[in-house]
Amino acid sequence: MEISETPIDTDRLRESLEDPRAGGFVVFEGWVRNENDGHEVRRLEYEVYEPLAIKEGERIIAEAEAKWPLIGVRIVHRGGLLELGDCAVWVGVAAKHRDEAFMACRYLIDELKVRLPIWKKEHYVGSDSGWVNCERCASHGLDRTG
């Protein structure tokens, strides 16, 4: 589990999970999109409380490893200012078979969205900005739409 203030090097991450025992690799990349809830988004900013984001991220990885037989897992989340199209979060899972790789990847991204102390501020076209609060996920466990 890493927090990065600079662009995520997705090639390097993918290479770090290459393993001759792995028959499948699933990656989820979260990208900065240009619209949220009817607002035209210009860029966004992540505030991360790193000590606990790392600790809680490691805990989520350990949970996934306890549920499925995995060969390698990496998560990197961005902090700081991001432009449209930038990779905000990268979750990669290598496993012997695809089933556990898909399931673990889904589990990791869903859990990290509702558990890590990370906050997103969107800057809109015009000069407005706003913190995106994930109320539905916080109250109902998982947000599968975001």
The binding site for another protein (CB under 8 A) comprises 30, 46-49, 51-53, 55-56, 77, 88-89, 109, 112-121, 131-135, 138-139, 146
Work out how close the CB of 39 gets to another protein at its nearest, in angstroms, rounded to a whole number. 14
Q: Write the CA distances from 27 to 24, 30, 94, integer angstroms.
A: 10, 10, 9
Helix (H) / strand (E) element for 55: namely: helix 50-67
What's the closest the beta carbon of residue 10 comes to another protein, in angstroms? 16
Residue 126: both structure tokens together: 């015009």
CA distances from 18 to 9, 43, 70, 107 (A): 15, 33, 13, 21
Among residues 22 and 86, whose Cβ is nearest to another protein? Answer: 86
**Closer of 61 and 89 to another protein (Cβ):** 89
CB of 127 to another protein, least distance (A): 16
Q: How far is the CB of 35 from another protein (least distance, A)?
A: 16
For another protein, give the closer residue by CB, 41 or 71: 41
Q: Which two tokens stand for residue 16?
A: 């770090």
* Shorter beta-carbon distance to another protein: residue 22 or 50: 50
Place of tokens 């539905």: 136
Q: How far is the CB of 136 from another protein (least distance, A)?
A: 9
Q: Which of 92, 98, 56 is nearest to 76 (CA)?
A: 92
Tell me whether residue 12 or residue 131 sits nearer to another protein (CB atom): 131
How far is residue 119's CA from residue 113's CA, in Å, rounded to a whole number?
Answer: 10
